[in-house]
Amino acid sequence: IAAIEIKIARGTIKDKANFKVEEDVAALRKAMEGLGKLMSNHYQPISEKHVKHLSVLVSLFCVVLFFIGTTEKTLIEVLTQRSNAQRQLIAKAYEKGTGRKLVADLEGDTHGDFEDLLVALVTPPAVYDCHEVIKAIKVRLCVQLSAA
């Protein structure tokens, strides 16, 4: 009988050393605090009555652009540089601390492919895989029905 060699594969994202879930939750909360307020369907128009001078408008625009970039960077850094197990701990701690689900807040504060990516990162793998399989089956059924 030949010996069977079994290798256990491990993903490329390793647990973050000195991981502190509270710090990551605080960073995410701070990052998303401004996103929903500054971005609703990408941008909210600034009323003329709030802007008296062009220089004020330019200053506000620069602050908004800087703030949006910073918060997106924080979301990316925290969620992509943690292992899946750590992201699940972050999601649980976020819900415990805010009373809201992290996925729901990400869906409300981000848009498009960026939203899809962040939601995928914080969704438990089994749930995400099931979602993707169901989506693929629906697409396949639609293709078959349209071809019939």
For the chain, what are the domain ranges?
Answer: 21-147
Q: Is the dihedral of CA 30, 82, 122, 97 positive or negative?
A: negative
pLDDT reading at 54 higher than 60 = no
Q: How many CA atoms lie within 13 A of 121 on its CB side?
A: 22
Which string of b and e fits 112-128 if b means at least 16 CB within 10 Å? eeeeeebbebbbeeeee
pLDDT for position 36: 55
Out of 3.55.40.20, 3.10.105.10, 1.10.220.10, 3.90.180.10, the CATH code matching 21-147 is 1.10.220.10
pLDDT tens by residue, 2-33: 666 656 656 667 888 888 888 988 888 888 77
144 phi and psi, to 5 degrees? -65, -40
The predicted model scores a pTM of: 0.60
